[in-house]
Amino acid sequence: MLSFVPDAEQRMWRTLSRSKYQLVRDRIRLQNQLEAMLEEARIKLSSVISDLLGLSGGRILAALAKGTTDPVKLAELGDALTGSPEPIHLEVLQLFLDRLELLDKQIQSLDTLIARELKRHEVAVIRVAQIPGFGVDSAQQIIAEVGVDAETFPSAAQFSSWAGTCPGSEESAEQNQSSRSPKGNRFVRRILTQAAQAAVKKKGCHFQTVFRRLSPKLGCKGAIWAIAHRLGRLLWKILHDGVAYVEQGTETNPAARKRRAQKLANALRRLGYQVTLTPPNASPVISPAG
């Protein structure tokens, strides 16, 4: 199973998805470099703006790069912007902003390409995106890695083994010597781990309950890994059997479900998917329009 080689179409999905992931990592690295340079210039912008590269932060950085250093003119942020940047700082800042603009443009282009390539599989994208901890982006990433119906994997256990999320089973004299997971697809492991970290923060979610039950015994890291393993098995079921996720936790009042459904629908529409919200029994469900 470790030698799984997808067909040409799926290999293209992987190329697009992995390229976007690398650009996102480059963007994070660029932000860290930018913050370090601002600190060197004694401009503590991060202490007063939660998103340095958001709309407000972007406007302030653009003004700085053009030579505006007056704190009053820079959104009246006071002492945080009373540093003394040298001309070279401002020149480098402009280079960083140019690089950021290019990265954002390339990421957006890859978003469009990925959504276009998976458009005819939007039902599968939507089903995966509804799993706690997932969203449209991670749904597209995981489908690019495992396929639309996970048909290569006859069982959830085989999928978990390939992904590398199942517990180890090195035994000697009837004693388990290692609980470490086997090596697997590092891209799938990353996606499942990130989804697990998000799922356990969702109030009333089944996986949050499981995490709280497992944490005292396994510790935080071990419990997250156990959730990732469960999410992997659930993912296989949803793709392989074509079923939808049903929340088993204590979640969620109708208003909370509606907000999540609307947020997911908006994210899908921005990428070109056609979805409508249909509320059977007052419970909003996202379904493809058509």
- Residues 122-131 have pLDDT tens digits of 999 999 999 9
Dihedral (Cα; 205, 207, 210, 212), 10-degree rounding: -70
List CB contacts of 26: < 8 A, sequence separation 6 or more: 103
Residue 231 to residue 133: CA distance in whole angstroms:
9
Give Cα 208 to chain centroid, integer Å: 18
pTM of the complete model: 0.78
Looking at per-residue pLDDT, the higher value among 279 and 102 belongs to: 102
**Domain-ending residue, one of 73, 94, 117:** 117
**Domain-ending residue, one of 102, 117, 132:** 117
Answer whether residue 272 is part of any domain.
no
Closest by CA to 262, choosing from 278, 241, 247, is 278
Residue type, position 209, single letter? T
Answer whether residue 243 is part of any domain.
yes
Domain count, the chain: 2
73 and 190 co-located in one domain: no
150 and 192 co-located in one domain: yes
Closest by CA to 244, choosing from 287, 201, 278, is 287
Range of the domain at 70: 8-117
Maximum average pLDDT range among 62-71, 87-96, 243-252: 87-96
Rg value, the chain, Cα = 23
Answer whether residue 287 is part of any domain.
no
Of 32-36, 52-56, 97-101, 228-232, which range is least confident? 52-56
What residue has token string 């109030």? 203
148 and 204 co-located in one domain: yes
Asked if pLDDT for residue 178 goes beyond 70, the answer is no
Mean pLDDT score of the chain? 81
The first and second tokens of residue 277, run together, are: 């919200």
- Residues 136-171 have pLDDT tens digits of 999 999 999 999 999 999 999 999 989 888 764 433
Answer whether residue 276 is part of any domain.
no
